[in-house]
Amino acid sequence: MQPAPIQIFAARHLLPVAGETLSPGALAAQAGRILEVGAPEALRQKFPEAAVREFPRHVLMPGLVNAHADLSLTHYEKYPHPMPETKEGRFLLMAWLVNRSRFKAKLPIPDQQKAVADGLEIVKRSGTTALGDVCRFPVAVPLYEKSGLRVTVLAEIENLQRATAQEEFEQALALVDEVEHAGHPRLKPGLAPFSAFTISKNLLRILANHALQMKIPFHIVAALSFSEMEFFYDSQGEVTSVLFKEAGWGEERIPPPHHMTPIQYLHEIGLLKARPAIVGALHLGPTDGALLGNAECPRVFAPLAFEKLQVGEVPWEKILKDRVPWALGTWGRAAGSSLDLWDEMRAVLYRLEGHPDLQAAGDAILRAATLGGARALGMEAEIGSLEKHKRADFLAVAAPEEDEPLAAALIRGVRPADIAAAFVDGVELFAQP
């Protein structure tokens, strides 16, 4: 059998994320993997038979990794929904969760398919090459397969609609098995129980053990809002008055006060052993950071969604200073996201205006949107940086002319039209005309 051809991709800059920027830089790829990264001339000499593709005015960089999305909500805003706000303009998160739950429970199959298909196109055109998508609809799987993207199918269990709770649980595990046994090279399963305030501790333990045994990613919303803090401390607040009512749980189902934080609760029930990616982590007690760090749980932030949902501020300066492992996700259009990770990165950079080390800030943000996302999906050994032996998932984006650190300049300037081409396993997803 003839060996697969070798291709060299050369550009003005190569930004590997893990390592020094090369200017100019190039990578050689074969059979979907990176053979080597280096100076263009050195790679030409080492692989003289290779075809060379030039991007003389561009930067080669890893494809973006959206750690946590929900593409089924892509067209949520096109449907009429009451705005869950108080007269003072405070966003009512639990009321929004109820609206979102009802919407997903009643979404017709053709609308499910259109939402996921359109969402996949949006993330692809904005430079995402891998994502974790919260999914409860099996009709999404063929769309993932056709997309050319690398997708972790995060089977969702929400447990808010009591009439379908058992079916939802069984369907999630069936979805995991379907993706696992199909063996598609770009798809892998994961689990995404929504939260510890909608799902019982026994069910959470079952799901965590399932994730551990199968060695698959496990995502959960935790410490996202003050309402959640209220619930886990003294069983009060909007979780019991709004969500429990929606689920049909009477006062007899309200648990006794835990007198602990949401993260302490996850630790107490053994859930942190599954090393879950924590979506939220905004409201942490004095020991919560150490608990997450000891368990090696990455944090996933969706800045635009967090802002719209008014759940709290991410302590960006502290995150950077403490070198906390974190990733970026978009969550979904229902939470105010554009599904474009560049917009999320810009939102972080704008909040770090005046940071004393702009280069370090830009590098950290870009790392979160690439290698950090890969880690949150359990794929850091395969994707997220341009390194020898990793998958050839990368972008060619227009090189900035601004006289500032490269990562920060890219974050400020790149829009979908600036992405000349995107590749997954060395195969071109698209190229600008």
Would you give per-residue pLDDT tens digits along the chain (433 residues)? 778 999 999 999 999 999 999 999 999 999 999 999 999 999 999 999 999 999 999 999 999 999 999 999 999 988 876 667 666 777 888 888 888 888 898 899 999 999 999 999 999 999 999 999 999 999 999 999 999 999 999 999 988 766 667 788 899 999 999 999 999 999 999 999 999 998 989 999 999 999 999 999 999 999 999 999 999 999 888 888 888 887 776 666 778 888 999 999 999 999 999 999 999 999 999 999 999 999 999 999 999 999 989 999 999 999 999 999 999 999 988 888 899 999 999 999 999 988 889 999 999 999 999 999 999 999 999 999 999 999 999 999 999 987 789 999 999 999 999 999 999 999 999 988 7
Check residue 159 and give its pLDDT.
81
pTM: 0.96
Distance CA 193, CA 168 (A): 11
Strand partners, 220: 278
Check residue 296 and give its pLDDT.
96
Check residue 432 and give its pLDDT.
82
Domains of the chain plus CATH, in order, are 6-62+385-431 (2.30.40.10), 64-376 (3.20.20.140)
Check residue 190 and give its pLDDT.
98
Collect all residues with Cβ–Cβ distance below 8 Å to 379 and sequence separation of at least 6: 65, 130, 150, 152, 188
Strand partners, 277: 219
Q: Which amino acid is present at 375?
A: R
Check residue 376 and give its pLDDT.
98
Check residue 312 and give its pLDDT.
92
Distance CA 384, CA 129 (A): 10
Look at residues 163, 164, 157, 244 and name the one whose alpha carbon lies nearest to residue 205: 157
Check residue 319 and give its pLDDT.
95
Distance CA 46, CA 49 (A): 9
